[in-house]
Amino acid sequence: MAPENTHTAQDIISDSAALLELSTILNAATDLDFILGNILLSCMGKLLVSRGMIFVEKGEQEYHLRSVKGIGKREGRDHFTLPVAWDHVQHVGELQSSSNAAIRDFAAFAEDSGLELLIPMLLEEHMVGIVGLGKKITGQELLSADITFLESVAAVAATAVKSALTIEELRVVNRRLDSKVQEMNTLFEISREMNTTFDPDAILRIMSYALMGQLRVMRYIVYTSDGEKLQPVLTKMPDFDCDGERIAELSDLRETVVFSERRHPENSAEQLLADVGVHTIIPMLSQNTPRGMLCLGERVGGGRFDTLELEYLHALANITISALENARLVKDTIEKQRLEKELSVAKSIQKGLLPKEIPTLAGYQLAAINESSQQVGGDYYDVLAVSDHEYVLAIGDVAGKGVPASLLMANVQAALRTIAPLRLPLPEATARINSLIYSNTSADKFITFFWGILDTNAHTFEYVNAGHNPPYFLTGEAQCDELNEGGLILGIMGTTPPYESNKLSLQGDDMIVTFTDGVNEAMSREMEEFSDERLKALVQDCRSLSAKDTLHRIRDEVLAFTEGAAQSDDITMLILKRSD
Amino acid sequence: MSEFSVGVRQRDTISVLDLRGYLDAHTAPELEKAFQTELEGDRYNIVVNFSELSYISSAGLGVLMQFIEDVRSNDGDIKLSNMSSRVYNVFDLLGFPMLYEIFDQEDDAVKKFLNKSENLS
Summarize pLDDT for A478-487 with one digit per residue, the tens.
788 999 999 9
Q: Over its length of 121 residues, how does chain B's per-residue pLDDT go in tens digits?
A: 458 999 999 998 999 999 999 998 889 999 999 999 999 999 999 999 999 999 998 889 999 988 998 999 999 999 999 999 999 999 998 888 888 999 999 999 999 999 877 766 5
Spatial separation of the C-alpha atoms in residues A478 and A62, rounded to whole Å: 111
CB spacing of B25 vs A210 below 8 angstroms: yes
CB spacing of B57 vs A213 below 8 angstroms: yes
Spatial separation of the C-alpha atoms in residues A451 and A386, rounded to whole Å: 13
Are the CB atoms for A386 and A329 separated by under 8 Å?
Answer: no
Spatial separation of the C-alpha atoms in residues A115 and A356, rounded to whole Å: 113
Residue-level pLDDT at A555? 92
Give chain A's residues under pLDDT 50: 1-3
ipTM of this complex > 0.95?
no
Q: Is any Cβ of chain A less than 8 angstroms from the Cβ of B87?
A: no
Residue A354 to chain B, least CA–CA distance (Å)? 52
Q: What is the pTM of this model?
A: 0.60
**Chain A environment of B62 (Cβ under 8 Å):** 208-214
Residue-level pLDDT at A287? 84
Q: Is any Cβ of chain A less than 8 angstroms from the Cβ of B59?
A: yes
CB spacing of A205 vs B98 below 8 angstroms: no
**Chain B environment of A178 (Cβ under 8 Å):** 89, 93
Q: Is A114 left (phi over 0), alpha (psi -120 to 50) or beta?
A: left
Residue-level pLDDT at A576? 95
Q: How far is CA A532 from CA A89, A157, A405, A469, A566, in A?
A: 114, 109, 25, 10, 20
**Chain A environment of B95 (Cβ under 8 Å):** 216, 301
**Chain A environment of B94 (Cβ under 8 Å):** 182, 213-214, 216
Q: Is any Cβ of chain A less than 8 angstroms from the Cβ of B108?
A: no
Residue-level pLDDT at B2? 54
Burial class of A422 by CB neighbour count within 10 A (0 to 12, 13 to 18, 19+):
exposed
Residue-level pLDDT at A376? 64
Residue-level pLDDT at B3? 87
Are the CB atoms for A203 and A320 separated by under 8 Å?
Answer: yes
Are the CB atoms for A59 and A83 separated by under 8 Å?
Answer: no
Longest CA pairwise span in chain A (Å): 160
Are the CB atoms for A154 and A128 separated by under 8 Å?
Answer: no
- Residues from A contacting B (CB-CB < 8 Å) are 175, 178-179, 182, 185-186, 189-190, 193, 205-206, 208-214, 216, 218, 300-301
Helix, strand, coil proportions of chain B in percent (round to 5)?
45, 30, 25
| Size of the A and B interface in Cβ pairs below 8 Å | 71
